[in-house]
Structure 1
Amino acid sequence: MVLEGRFNRQQMSYFQYHLFSFYSVLKWMEKLLVLLFLIYGCYAEHQDLSGKKFIIPVETSNSFVKLSGNISKPVTAMTMCQRFFTEEHRDQSLFSLATPSDPKDINLCMQSKGGYKLNIRGNSVTISGLPENRNAWISFCGTWDSKTGLTQMWANGRRSASKILKPNGPINGKPSIILGQNQGSYGGSFVASQSFVGDVTDVHFWDSVISPCQIKLYMQGKNFTPGNILNWKALEFTTGGGVFKEISDYNC
């Protein structure tokens, strides 16, 4: 009986040892899978997207493109340009920049009732009378200067009159830049009804108000000085949801 009890204890110890070893291997594999996900699932690509476009084909709250901007100092002025194609007649977010202190530092949307609305830190201006063609490419640029509050928009070569947004200080903090969704919080809180549905290409962002001549060159698809914060020819990005990267038909 003593030998049998000792044998049973040895069996139990052997079983416990191997069970613990198996559990340790599982935990190690779990950590490895997390690491692989971080490396391959969330790794931001850095690409020349010349001749390419992003397609967001359906209205969702989880399809987006996150852009990594080369921002090393507070933003006191900006120019944002992009080309987009949509058939939707509803409010759509074209560009969203948030910081930890304010999810709506910069938000540009196309409105269902007409016009483009630029919101900067709770102050907004709507500009009407610019091209808003559906099922056709629109080349768009918007500018803003924090010191004067002056803002202006361009679409397909036509410019708006200058408007005033309440002058504000610089935009500080690590930005979260999103195409396709409006950020209700820093990097998230997307709402499907505000999402963009269509194609986007040639996105550039400068931390200055670039000259009208440079904007005209962009509008005409000619050589211009690319964005120093976001550059379509050297873009670092990640995508989420049903976003596709395809050949652009803009220059066809």
Structure 2
Amino acid sequence: MKRLVGLFALFLLAKAEREDLSGKMFTFPVESKTHHVVLNPEMNKIFTTVTVCLRVFSDISRAQSLFSLALPSTANAFLFFREKQGHYILHILDGTAHFWGLKDEYNVWKSMCATWDANTGLAQIWVNGIPSSRKGLKQGGSLTGIPKIILGQEQDSYGGRFDAAQSFVGMLTDVHMWDSVLSPDQIVYYSYGGQFKPGNVINWNSLKFSTSGYVVVESKETSHGASSV
């Protein structure tokens, strides 16, 4: 049995591949508690500053996970979550901050970024280049350990315990993660297609990932909503 488990683990690792996904997107066509993408950053360090940016296109009004990073010590180590229209949540090290009143539309591409600085504890969300209020969250904390980063599902345990009612349905692209807090100018450049420095933790232009279940990698040009914002 141990030999079979070991071989299965090697098979999963072998499925991970590195690609330049410029102009491509992950499409999650159906609600599920299984279909997802695992991102495999080659970095194991202590994070005290973080920025995550991505673009999404969805018509779902219910809650859904946008970016789920779990650590062995906590499932909600860095969770970027859309609760409902105009209402976003950041869970960091099991702490929670709510962000209200952000401009939010369905069936259009939206650029979203989330930042956190453990030194001050300040966290913020940006939607299409417009910032939220800044909220205090886990000052003095750090993300320590080997992360599991999943798109399409929200982790209630380290790498698992998915809930279909929180799954992402739609298209998702241009995922980047930095071990720093981007300046407002850099976030605006990202949001509106300007020049920005790609993520040094997760880089969409050189992404190592594996898909599980019904997830389609396709060109953004296949969608009528091919523009970035």
* Distance of 2:137 and 2:82 partners within structure 1: 18
Identity across the alignment (%): 46
When residues 49 and 163 of structure 1 are mapped into structure 2, their CA distance, relative to the original with a 3 A threshold, is same
* Distance of 1:182 and 1:118 partners within structure 2: 12
- Residue of structure 2 in register with 1:251 after alignment: 227
Instruction: Name structure 2 gaps, 5 residues minimum.
Output: none
Shift of 1:57: 0.7
Q: Is the 8 A contact 1:88 1:134 kept in 2?
A: yes
Letter of the 2:205 counterpart: K
Cα-to-partner distance string for 1:1-27 (whole Å, 9 max, x where unaligned): xxxxxxxxxxxxxxxxxxxxxxxxxxx
Q: Which of 58, 62, 69 is residue 86 of structure 1 equivalent to?
A: 58
Query: Does 2:44 correspond to 1:72?
Result: yes
* Distance of 1:101 and 1:240 partners within structure 2: 24
- Residue of structure 2 in register with 1:235 after alignment: 207
Letter of the 1:111 counterpart: E
Shift of 1:160: 1.2
Work out which of the two has the higher radius of gyration on C-alpha atoms and give 1 or 2. Answer: 1
Task: Return 108-117 or 95-104, whichever deviates more.
Answer: 108-117
Letter of the 1:251 counterpart: S
* 1:20-99 mapped onto 2 (5 Å cutoff): 35=7, 38-39=10-11, 42-99=14-71
Q: Is the 8 A contact 2:85 2:104 kept in 1?
A: no
Shift of 1:117: 0.5
Shift of 1:39: 4.2
Q: Which of 159, 170, 193 is residue 187 of structure 1 equivalent to?
A: 159
Q: Is the 8 A contact 1:91 1:194 kept in 2?
A: yes
Query: Does 2:134 correspond to 1:162?
Result: yes
Query: Does 2:186 correspond to 1:214?
Result: yes
Letter of the 1:181 counterpart: Q
Instruction: Name structure 1 gaps, 5 residues minimum.
Output: 1-29
TM-score normalised to the size of structure 2?
0.91
Task: Return 241-250 or 41-50, whichever deviates more.
Answer: 41-50
- Residue of structure 1 in register with 2:82 after alignment: 110
Shift of 1:166: 3.1
When residues 121 and 41 of structure 1 are mapped into structure 2, their CA distance, relative to the original with a 3 A threshold, is closer
Aligned residues: 221
Task: Return 109-118 or 85-94, whichever deviates more.
Answer: 109-118
Cα-to-partner distance string for 1:93-144 (whole Å, 9 max, x where unaligned): 0010001111110111111364110011221111112122111111000100
Cα-to-partner distance string for 1:145-180 (whole Å, 9 max, x where unaligned): 112110111111211121111314211110000001
- Larger fraction in strand: 2
| C-alpha RMSD of the superposition | 1.9
Cα-to-partner distance string for 1:63-97 (whole Å, 9 max, x where unaligned): 10100123232011100000000000100000100
Task: Return 135-144 or 242-251, whichever deviates more.
Answer: 242-251
Letter of the 2:34 counterpart: N
